[in-house]
Structure 1
Amino acid sequence: MTSKEKKELKNQIRMVAFDVDGTILPFSQLSFNPNIQKMFKDLEKNNIYSIISTAREFITIGNLLDQIPEANYFIGANGMFVYDLQAKEIIYEKPIKLQDLELLYKEIWGHSDLESLTVTDLDWCYHSPGINKNTWFLTPHHAKMKEINFSEIDSKHIHIITLGSYNEETTTRLEEFVKHAIRKYNLPLEINSKWHRGLFVTPKGVTKFTALSWLANYLGLDASKNLIAFGDSSNDYEMIKYSAYGVAVGCEDKYICQIAKDIADDVKQDGTYTKLKDLQII
């Protein structure tokens, strides 16, 4: 990119969105690196909105947001809500209906390819019986986890359904079974994205980019003109493809790299920080 192009991009960008795991936080790491924390400070100094855009929700985000107090917005559950971090309030939300969650659970629980199910509200992560909670991702959140009980779930704030499986082959079979269950009951849900050991289920039409687009409009901006988005996996696809400047972090997912306008260094090398420096955004 030429100096002139960098200057034009800098004048255009007013929002920067980041996925978390594999993008600004190495997998299994519990705290942000110093350069990542500095990145949010630098964005604030330059009057650019910074947005966390992740599959994590109010439970599994843990204390990560406390480490970056300069961040402006938290888009969680792959786009199901937007939380204003400064005002400390939800300003946009597309929750799952309790009856839809119950129908899906009853239809798929016990399937041989389903290892686990979790779903969250504002206060708890509810899980299927017998789940392995001793993983790098869930271990920090044991105090906020309980076995699923539909009568206890806050029906106004049901967020992302996460279905765990055993490997890529079982995940593919589970995906087809879940799609069949959704069609069978005509549920307003869909598989939002997947990885090699599981699926995310959200209301239809929910993606990180739909939430980012809403937020941009809310701020008087346009995500297709004023947003840089950083991500590394399938749930980042739309925001990388449709934002003004989509950046793949590392190249673990070749599909994401193919649609990105740029590629940043690996998360362990603080790729988002060095790319924003290179682009002269910070």
Structure 2
Amino acid sequence: MIKAIFFDIDGTLLSHQSQSVPASTKKALKILKEKGIYTFIATGRHISEIKDLPLDDLEFEGYITLNGQYCYNKEGVIYDLPIDPQDIQQILSFIDQKPFPCIFVEDEKMYINYHNQAVETVQKAISTPLPELGNLKRGLTHPIYQVIPYDITIEQEQEILQQMPHCQYTRWHDLAIDIIPQNGGKQNGILEVLKNYHISIDETMAFGDGHNDIDMLKLVNIGIAMGNANDEVKEAADEVTDNIDHDGIYKALKKHHLIDE
């Protein structure tokens, strides 16, 4: 019996083609709530970004944000895992030597050193305003949960990771990557949330479409890739549903008899 379902946002709940959540998905989420099945967001996004998205009329039990590094519900923080301060010091020195746009993400705040065309392109692609400008040195005195470099090559990825030996990364756009703690990830956040709710892995399902969803889809009992996911994500999933714009979530939930309408 499924007791908890985890949903990625971009390309899973939110269509960037229509700039909205499909009506069939909204209907499905309402039915799941009425049945007492917990629904959770599992995203790489920050709480401030989520508030700017057209998700206001959707209600979730909790949120796994920043790729699992910051998890909370209406009662407060369930789990958090900041980046090693030594890694932050080293990446700051590296940016001073070889500048590139970079976001530092705190629990309630995120800021970037500067904007360029690459930043504008990426933010437009995810239907999100440009991040506020700020001094990255703030990261020396505040916990940083995620670092997001923009406008870097594959070669630069490796240079950056050498500065942050306690971290891992995923590329979510041709022009941007997410850097998080080595032992982090959506799957880690999900395990902590399940522990808090006393729910077993056997009672879980998840939907995703991006590279940062792969570990999540492998972890849960039933991992479902959206039809618009790339091949690597589809191969990691237990099954593939239809495209987000063709009622993919609704069809999968109906297939598993979690909704009957």
TM-score (ref. length: structure 1): 0.81
1:1-282 → structure 2 map (5 Å cutoff): 12-27=1-16, 30-64=19-53, 67-84=56-73, 86-87=74-75, 89-108=76-95, 111=98, 115-132=100-117, 134=120, 135-136=123-124, 140-142=128-130, 145-151=132-138, 155-156=142-143, 158-165=144-151, 170=153, 172-182=154-164, 187-223=165-201, 225-282=202-259
**Aligned partner of 1:146: which letter?**
L
Deviations 1:125-150 (A, max 9, x none): 210223445432577445x6122342
Mapped to 2, the partners of 1:212 and 1:174 lie a distance apart of 31
Deviation at 1:241, TM superposition (A): 1.1
**SS across alignment from 1:145:** coil
| % same residue | 21
Mapped to 2, the partners of 1:151 and 1:163 lie a distance apart of 16
Gaps of 5+ in 1: 1-11
**Aligned partner of 1:162: which letter?**
I
Mapped to 2, the partners of 1:139 and 1:178 lie a distance apart of 27
Mapped to 1, the partners of 2:95 and 2:138 lie a distance apart of 19
CA RMSD of aligned residues (A): 2.5
Q: 1:149 to 1:210 in 2, by over 3 A?
A: closer
Q: Does the CA contact (< 8 Å) of 1:121 and 1:153 recur in 2?
A: no
Mapped to 1, the partners of 2:15 and 2:224 lie a distance apart of 17
Q: Does the CA contact (< 8 Å) of 2:52 and 2:128 recur in 1?
A: no
**SS across alignment from 1:31:** coil
Q: Report which stretch shifted further, 67-76 or 93-102.
A: 93-102
**SS across alignment from 1:90:** strand
Gaps of 5+ in 2: none
Mapped to 1, the partners of 2:71 and 2:136 lie a distance apart of 26
TM-score (ref. length: structure 2): 0.87
**Aligned partner of 2:189: which letter?**
A
Deviations 1:20-64 (A, max 9, x none): 111111236543232222222111111111011010012221244
**SS across alignment from 2:29:** helix
Mapped to 2, the partners of 1:100 and 1:58 lie a distance apart of 23
Q: Does the CA contact (< 8 Å) of 2:68 and 2:186 recur in 1?
A: yes
Mapped to 1, the partners of 2:185 and 2:139 lie a distance apart of 27
